[in-house]
Amino acid sequence: MKKTIVLATLALGLGAVLMHVSAGHAAAQTSTLAANGHQIGISVLPGNLQMREPILVFDVSGSSLLGPLHSRLSVYNDGLATVSRWSDNVVFGGEDGDAAINYVGSEAVDSLRKQLSAAGAFSLTDQLLIVADLPLSTVTFFRKPGTRSVANTYSYWVGTGEYGAVNTVIANFIDAHFPGF
C-alpha cells in the first residue's frame, strides 16, 4: 500500500501551494486540501493587497570620530516619506535625535525612482573599500511596486565615484522634502 504525505506550504502574498509526495515523486499544485474527509478550499488572490510598498530604504549607520550615529530615509509608493536620525556625540557631549514624516506625492516618488534608476541604484554592489571611522551607507532600492518585485541592496563607505550619483540623488531628495534635516 502506497502512503501519500501531504505537505502544505504558505507563502505570504503568493497563496497556498499543496505538495503531494508519494514514493519519491513530488508534484506541486494549487488545489483543495482534504483533511479528515473535509474539503478545505485554497484561494489564491491575484496581486498585492497592500496599498503602501517601499521603493527606497536608505540607512547610514556606524561610528565616526564623534561617536555612533544612525539615520534612515524610507520612501513609499503612495508618497509617504519618513526620515530619522540619532547620534551620540562623545566629543561635544550628549545624544541627539529627530524624526519627520512628509507626504511628498506620487510625482516626487516617480521622479526619485527614475533618478535612482538612471544613477545605477539597481545594479550597484557593495563597495570594496576598507575604511576607519566612517559610517556605512546601505541602499535598498525596490522595483516598481505591484510587480512581485525584487530589490537591490548594497552598501558603501564613501559616496563617491559610481556611488556618488546615488548618494547625491538621495541627499537632494532629503534637502527638497525635509529642509534643514
Q: Per-residue pLDDT tens for 98-117? A: 999 999 999 999 999 999 99
What's the average model confidence in pLDDT over 49-60?
Answer: 85
What CA–CA distance (Å, rounded) separates 129 from 30? 47
What's the average model confidence in pLDDT over 163-176?
Answer: 96
Q: Residues, the chain, total?
A: 181
What is the predicted pLDDT for the residue at 66?
Answer: 80
What's the average model confidence in pLDDT over 52-76?
Answer: 91
Q: Per-residue pLDDT tens for 28-41? A: 333 344 444 444 44
What is the predicted pLDDT for the residue at 130?
Answer: 83
Is the pLDDT reported for residue 127 higher than 50?
A: yes
Break the chain into its structural domains and give their ranges. 4-40, 54-177
Percentage of the chain modeled with pLDDT above 70: 68
Q: Give how far Cα 50 sits from Cα of 45, 106, 125, 146, Å.
A: 12, 16, 29, 9
Strands (E), the chain: 4-11, 15-22, 25-29, 33-35, 38-40, 54-64, 67-76, 80-88, 95-103, 136-142, 151-156
**Domain 54-177 CATH superfamily:** Mago nashi (3.30.1560.10)
